[in-house]
Amino acid sequence: MTETENKILELPILPLRNTVIFPSGITPLTVGRPLSLAAAEAALATEEKLLGVVAQREDNEAEPTPDNLYKTGTVVVINRMMRSPGAEEVLHLIVQGQERFRIVGFTEQTPYLKARVEILPEPTREKTPEVEALQRNIQVLVQKALSLLPNVPPEIRNIIVQADDAVRLAYFLGSVLDLTTPQEQALLEADTESELLHLMHTYLTREVEVLEIRSKIANQAQEELGKAQRDYILREQMKQIQKELGEGESDQAEAQLLRERIEKAELPDEVRAEAERELKRLERLPAAAPDYHVIRTYLDWILDLPWRKSTEEALDLNNAQGVLDEDHYDLEEIKQRILEHLAVIKLNPKTKAPILCFVGPPGVGKTSLGQSIARAMDRKFERMSLGGMRDEAELRGHRRTYIGAMPGRIIQALRRASVNNPVMMLDEVDKLGMDFRGDPASALLEVLDPAQNFSFRDHYLDLPFDLSKVFFIATANTLSPIPAALRDRMEIIRLSGYTEEEKLHIAKRYLIPRQIKESGLTEEQVHFTDEAVQGIISRYTREAGVRQLERSLGSVARKIALKVAKSEGDVFTVTDAELEDYLGHEMFFHEMARQQLPAGVATGLAVTDMGGEVLFVEATLLPGSKGLTLTGQLGDVMQESAKAALSYLWSHTHELGFDCAEKFENSAVHIHVPAGATPKDGPSAGVAIVSALASLCSGRPVRSDTAMTGEITLSGLVLPVGGIKGKVLAARRSGMKRVVLPKKNEPDLKDIPEEALRDLEVRLVERIDELLPQTLTPGGDGQEEMPIPERDGVTAGNEVRVESGQASH
Amino acid sequence: MMSRSKKVFIERISSEYHRPSGPLWQPAVDIYRCPDGWKIKFDLAGVKPDDIHVLISDDKLIVRGVRRDTVITEGWSYHQLEITYSRFERILKIPGDLSNTEIQSESRDGWFILHLKCA
């Protein structure tokens, strides 16, 4: 009787929010809305406790009207009912779905909805292959879903696995799955098994997809979390390890600090890029790595170098002149050169700095001149001594691959100067060594070439540094050891020795005040007479410069300081006579003009590192023997020069007026040049040798007041030689009255201070036959001097008598 | 072959079973073996014999029916409900052939008892 198809019933209708009840399973319901309460009460009052439940279309409708309800619902039987302990007006029901129905029409709407419903049959079972396939697929999908859901109770698992009826399983899944109300309603409204299973299949597929994605996301999240956690733990461990090793946590801070410094530093683009690249490497390294400190030091070097920092040029020419004059006496040519350069810089700031090379004997003020140039230009002064440097790497640095590599001296000096335009003095370039480690002179070529040095590459830095603003000054004592290529790059400025007058000035202006001060005395307490200073210069020193002079002055000053300290007096005047008390016996005595020269002795002039010097050439005949003996440590050139002299005289014996040939035929000749222990070389003694030999042959002594220098040739020419200034000064110092020089050396006389020439008679000769009358004393025939042929309108004897002003003739 | 006692409707059906639409509640059952066959006792208190329907096929015994609340009266309302009403169904498999059995039914003290006499 209950099992009638399309049976019509009249049932109280309970609107459901958010859910659909399927004709299977047991569902708990809580009823609180008045409409629903009334419907539930009405159902309970019937014999069979049947209730129709229909889903609401709008969940938030509190008082749903028939229009708001789906038309298809489920007949449920109320299995259990109880009232809430606190609130009587809330019912808790447990209902079991029985059959589907379709609402035919509502019969009542108050106090509850009541409708006539037509009971719908169960979806018709079909045994088609399609249904079969859908069933199996659903089973597979369900298994998949179960494997993806972590916490499915085993009861549900069993129900699903053991379900033998596809429709029941679909209804069950519909209530279990997280479906929307319209989806659930569609399941409920399905009239055939295939329709129902199709819907279920769609829902399940989607559900499984969602589950899969969810599980993937969850896995990923877990994976990411796992990795982050792992990194964190490892980092923490590393920190602990570093702490244990006492390395602290400063690396990151250090890298950060370096980064800030790089940002602030004024670096050229290329340098900045390199610095940043190195910094990145540094950040990746632990502080304990050996490379860490290499990179760290390298970055420090980059940051410390004055890539763009310059000192402002002081372009006040008058001030510069003042500074130069204040520091150095005379040296007009050099001062002029500096001032010219300053003037050029003033007009064209982009001009390249000159590269000067001061050549001169020690103590003439080459180094201090560099300092005053820096002072005059208001630039920093950096000095490096190249003496004895043998390794190219010392100049240009070692590559960073070597342990303990450092930049070269040039870059180091620039860091010290901390500006890129210092005056840089390369001292003693003539004393550069050279061996298998390389040739530092060649490395200097790049440094000193204005065409290349704007991008000087130090091996260590391996970045181009602009050296073109650096004012390079090289110094050397002699030019000859300097390789030609290097010499060619520099502007050579010669500083020859000072004259005694100059020394006197220097002593009075600089040395004496300085030494008095250093001895703790005042200028009022000590006074040097000019004669005393000259005495020191001539008898206690022998030098082109003034170092020995300064030491001697210092020594005198100290002895006076001792007396002052012992209260033996207050004011002291040092006179020439007292010098022996202060300085002991005279240290040197120059080869002074000999009062009377025997035949065969001539006074020559030589130049040494210490300045000019007088030397004597002695010749003697050894009758009964043959040949030429040369003694006195003569070099090859000088020996050849002696041979040339002998040959000239021998071959020209008829023109000379005395017979050389006969003497040379019958006797050997011995030439000796004292001081025998000092090696001597060079061609400039030629005229002295020829004079000595001529004197020997003629028996006429060489004039004792005449000194001479010059190279000779076999054809009788007198060729020019170097060091004229030093030689002339030496001649004067030795008390000579006359000097015979090659005619071609005439321009050199301009270099000689006028006071040095004052009491000196200078004779210029072009040929040996002009020379001999000037050097030999008149013969016994009473002839004053040998006749000299007139030539080129030059007065006989080519005498140059300097009265005042420029040398003239 | 049909027997009736006390208005209980007993029907012999073919072995093909017609499933009811929707799940129904199942009364508890005791089954006894006795010398002449089977006695089957259903816990069906409050069910009128008229409302019980017994179906029998070759190997199955099906008891279905409706329990109605005949106590409730106009003006009462429920405070608590624990007894399940409405339709029920119980399908039993009894060993042996049921085709020639004689079935008698009896209602006693709220039990519904079926007596299956095997020939």
Compute the mean pLDDT over every residue in chain A, rounded to the nearest whole number. Answer: 82
The residue that leads in pLDDT, A531 or A73, is: A73
Of A94, A120, A146, at which residue does a domain stop? A120
Active site residues of A: 684, 727
For A593, list phi and psi in degrees, rounded to 5.
-55, 125
Tokens in use for A739? 């000097």
- Same-domain pairing of A780 and A645: yes
A399 residue type, one letter: R
| Cβ-nearest to B81 among A25, A78, A96 | A78
Q: Which residue of B has its CA nearest to A51?
A: B86
Q: Hey, how many other C-beta atoms are within 10 angstroms of the C-beta on A107?
A: 12
A37 reaches B (C-beta below 8 A): no
Q: Tell me how close the Cα of B34 comes to any Cα of chain A, in angstroms.
A: 33
Is A176 part of a structural domain of the chain? no
Is A263 part of a structural domain of the chain? yes
| Cβ-nearest to B22 among A44, A48, A99 | A99
How sure is the predictor about A639, in pLDDT bands with cuts at 50, 70 and 90? confident
Residues 359-418 in A contacting B (C-alpha not used; CB under 8 Å): none
Q: Contact, A553 vs A515, CB < 8 A?
A: yes
Q: Tell me how close the Cα of A163 comes to any Cα of chain B, in angstroms.
A: 14
* Cβ distance of B80 and A96 shorter than 8 Å: no
Residues A25, A171: Cα–Cα separation, whole Å? 9
- Same-domain pairing of A578 and A612: no
pLDDT of B78 reads: 87
Q: Which residue of B has its CA nearest to A25?
A: B23
pLDDT of A610 reads: 63
Structural domains counted in chain A = 5
Residues A589, A679: Cα–Cα separation, whole Å? 19
Q: What is the pLDDT of residues A518-544, one digit of tens each?
A: 888 888 888 888 888 888 887 787 777
Q: What is the pLDDT of residues A617-629, one digit of tens each?
A: 888 888 888 888 8
How sure is the predictor about A54, in pLDDT bands with cuts at 50, 70 and 90? very high
* Cβ distance of B66 and A49 shorter than 8 Å: no
* Cβ distance of A99 and B24 shorter than 8 Å: no
Q: Which residue of A has its CA nearest to B76?
A: A45
Residues 85-144 in A contacting B (C-alpha not used; CB under 8 Å): 96-100, 119, 121-122
Segment (H or E) for B55: strand B52-56
- In chain A, what residues touch B22 (CB-CB under 8 Å)? 23-24, 75, 97-99, 122
Q: Tell me how close the Cα of A168 comes to any Cα of chain B, in angstroms.
A: 9
Q: Contact, B119 vs B100, CB < 8 A?
A: yes
- In chain A, what residues touch B85 (CB-CB under 8 Å)? 47-49, 77
- The answer for residues whose C-beta is within 8 angstroms of residue A562's C-beta and 6 or more apart is none
Residue A773: HSE in the Cβ half-sphere, 13 Å Cα cutoff: 21
Instruction: Give Cα separations from A441 to A454, A457, A680, A727 (angstroms).
Output: 18, 16, 28, 31
Q: Contact, A256 vs A283, CB < 8 A?
A: no
Interface test with A, best of B78, B79, B84 (most A CBs within 10 A): B78
> Looking up tokens 């980059």, which residue turns up?
A302
- In chain B, what residues touch A80 (CB-CB under 8 Å)? 81-82
Please check the confidence at residue A424 and state whether its pLDDT lies above 80. Answer: yes
- Same-domain pairing of A351 and A428: yes
Of A523, A552, A583, at which residue does a domain stop? A583
Tokens in use for A276? 């940043």
Residues A799, A764: Cα–Cα separation, whole Å? 7
- The answer for residues whose C-beta is within 8 angstroms of residue A519's C-beta and 6 or more apart is A554, A557, A558, A560, A561
Tokens in use for A559? 């002895």
A49 reaches B (C-beta below 8 A): yes
Is B20 part of a structural domain of the chain? no
Residues A558, A315: Cα–Cα separation, whole Å? 41
pLDDT of A71 reads: 92
pLDDT of A676 reads: 64
Ranges A239-243, A396-400, A552-556: which has the least confidence: A239-243
How sure is the predictor about A611, in pLDDT bands with cuts at 50, 70 and 90? low
User: Any idea how long chain A is?
Assistant: 809
CA angle centred on B2, ends B35 and B67, rounded to 5°: 85
Residue B39 domain boundaries: 9-15+25-69+84-117
- Same-domain pairing of A542 and A442: no
Residues A731, A741: Cα–Cα separation, whole Å? 12
pLDDT of A142 reads: 87
- Same-domain pairing of A377 and A264: no
Is B4 part of a structural domain of the chain? no
- In chain B, what residues touch A125 (CB-CB under 8 Å)? none
Tokens in use for A318? 């008058």
Burial tier of A508 (Cβ tally within 10 Å: 0-12, 13-18, 19+) = middle
| Cβ-nearest to B68 among A24, A48, A97 | A48
- Same-domain pairing of A531 and A623: no
- Same-domain pairing of A424 and A568: no
pLDDT of A373 reads: 84
pLDDT of A94 reads: 92
A391 residue type, one letter: D
Q: Contact, A397 vs A462, CB < 8 A?
A: no
| Cβ-nearest to A80 among B21, B66, B82 | B82
- In chain B, what residues touch A24 (CB-CB under 8 Å)? 22-23
Residue A24 domain boundaries: 8-120
Domain with residue A355: its CATH number is 3.40.50.300
The residue that leads in pLDDT, A239 or B37, is: B37
Is B43 part of a structural domain of the chain? yes
Is A309 part of a structural domain of the chain? no
Residue B23: HSE in the Cβ half-sphere, 13 Å Cα cutoff: 20
Chain B contact residues (CB < 8 Å to A): 18-25, 66, 68-70, 72, 76-82, 84-87
* Cβ distance of B69 and A83 shorter than 8 Å: no
Between strands A113-120 and A526-528, the pairing is: unpaired
A489 residue type, one letter: R
Q: Which of A104-118, A379-393, A577-591 has the highest mean pLDDT?
A: A104-118
pLDDT of A788 reads: 42
How sure is the predictor about A590, in pLDDT bands with cuts at 50, 70 and 90? low
Q: Hey, how many other C-beta atoms are within 10 angstroms of the C-beta on B17?
A: 12
A29 reaches B (C-beta below 8 A): no
Q: Contact, A776 vs A769, CB < 8 A?
A: no
Q: Contact, B118 vs B37, CB < 8 A?
A: yes
A494 residue type, one letter: R
Please check the confidence at residue A779 and state whether its pLDDT lies above 80. Answer: no
* Cβ distance of A82 and B66 shorter than 8 Å: no
- Helix (H), strand (E) counts: chain A: 28, 25
pLDDT of A594 reads: 63
A41 reaches B (C-beta below 8 A): yes
Is B75 part of a structural domain of the chain? no
Find how far residue B44's CA is from the centre of its chain: 8
Sign of CA dihedral A760, A765, A769, A770: negative
Is A242 part of a structural domain of the chain? no
| Cβ-nearest to B21 among A47, A50, A99 | A99
Q: What's the N-to-C CA distance of chain A in angstroms?
A: 164
Domain with residue B95: its CATH number is 2.60.40.790
Q: Contact, A301 vs A460, CB < 8 A?
A: yes
For A300, list phi and psi in degrees, rounded to 5.
-60, -45
Tokens in use for A224? 């990411």
Tokens in use for A368? 């201090």
Helix, coil or strand: residue A726:
helix
Annotate A396-432 with b (16+ C-beta within 10 A) or e (fewer): bbbebeeeebbbbbbbbbbeebebbbbbbbbbbbbbb
| Cβ-nearest to B85 among A48, A82, A119 | A48
A244 residue type, one letter: E
The residue that leads in pLDDT, A135 or A494, is: A135
Is B103 part of a structural domain of the chain? yes
Residue A786: HSE in the Cβ half-sphere, 13 Å Cα cutoff: 21
For A353, list phi and psi in degrees, rounded to 5.
-70, 145
- Same-domain pairing of A751 and A730: yes
% of chain A at pLDDT higher than 70: 92
Sign of CA dihedral A151, A155, A158, A163: negative
Interface test with A, best of B16, B77, B83, B87 (most A CBs within 10 A): B87
Q: Tell me how close the Cα of A71 comes to any Cα of chain B, in angstroms.
A: 19
Q: Tell me how close the Cα of B96 comes to any Cα of chain A, in angstroms.
A: 25
- Same-domain pairing of A403 and A519: no
Using CA atoms of A179, A181, A183, A185 in order, give the dihedral in degrees to the nearest 10: 130
Residues A475, B69: Cα–Cα separation, whole Å? 132
Q: Tell me how close the Cα of A88 comes to any Cα of chain B, in angstroms.
A: 9
A23 reaches B (C-beta below 8 A): yes
Q: Hey, how many other C-beta atoms are within 10 angstroms of the C-beta on A180?
A: 11
Q: Which residue of B has its CA nearest to A74?
A: B22
Tokens in use for A670? 């011995």
Please check the confidence at residue B41 and state whether its pLDDT lies above 90. Answer: yes
The residue that leads in pLDDT, B85 or B2, is: B85
Q: Tell me how close the Cα of B15 comes to any Cα of chain A, in angstroms.
A: 18
A81 reaches B (C-beta below 8 A): yes
Interface test with A, best of B25, B67, B79, B81 (most A CBs within 10 A): B81
- Same-domain pairing of A477 and A373: yes
Ranges A151-160, A434-443, A709-718, B90-99: which has the least confidence: A434-443
Please check the confidence at residue A116 and state whether its pLDDT lies above 90. Answer: yes
- Same-domain pairing of A326 and A471: yes
- In chain A, what residues touch B80 (CB-CB under 8 Å)? 81-83
The residue that leads in pLDDT, A190 or A332, is: A190
* Cβ distance of B81 and A44 shorter than 8 Å: yes
Is B78 part of a structural domain of the chain? no
Domain with residue A568: its CATH number is 1.10.8.60
Residues A234, A238: Cα–Cα separation, whole Å? 6
Q: Hey, how many other C-beta atoms are within 10 angstroms of the C-beta on A444?
A: 27
Q: Hey, how many other C-beta atoms are within 10 angstroms of the C-beta on A784?
A: 8
Residues A703, A705: Cα–Cα separation, whole Å? 5
- The answer for residues whose C-beta is within 8 angstroms of residue A443's C-beta and 6 or more apart is A392, A395, A396
- In chain B, what residues touch A98 (CB-CB under 8 Å)? 21-24, 86-87
* Cβ distance of B86 and A77 shorter than 8 Å: yes
Q: Tell me how close the Cα of A218 comes to any Cα of chain B, in angstroms.
A: 39
For A368, list phi and psi in degrees, rounded to 5.
-70, -25
Is B76 part of a structural domain of the chain? no
Q: What is the DSSP annotation of A213-263?
A: HHHHHHHHHHHHHHHHHHHHHHHHHHHHHHHHTT-TTHHHHHHHHHHHHHH
pLDDT of A117 reads: 92
Residues A435, A393: Cα–Cα separation, whole Å? 12
For A781, list phi and psi in degrees, rounded to 5.
-80, 10
Q: Contact, A667 vs A693, CB < 8 A?
A: no
A27 reaches B (C-beta below 8 A): no
A72 reaches B (C-beta below 8 A): no
DSSP A439: -
- In chain B, what residues touch A82 (CB-CB under 8 Å)? 79-81
Q: Within A328-454, where are the H helices? A: 332-347, 366-377, 392-396, 409-417, 440-448
Is A775 part of a structural domain of the chain? yes
Structural domains counted in chain B = 1
Mean pLDDT computed over A700-708: 85
pTM of the model: 0.49
Tokens in use for A475? 């110094």
Please check the confidence at residue A448 and state whether its pLDDT lies above 60. Answer: yes
Domain with residue A109: its CATH number is 2.30.130.40
- Same-domain pairing of A345 and A468: yes
Closest CA to A420 of A305, A291, A317: A305
Is A169 part of a structural domain of the chain? no
Q: What is the pLDDT of residues A84-105, one digit of tens each?
A: 887 778 889 999 988 899 999 9
Q: What is the pLDDT of residues A577-588, one digit of tens each?
A: 888 888 887 766
Of A278, A304, A330, at which residue does a domain stop? A304
Is B3 part of a structural domain of the chain? no
Q: Contact, A91 vs A31, CB < 8 A?
A: yes
pLDDT of A118 reads: 92
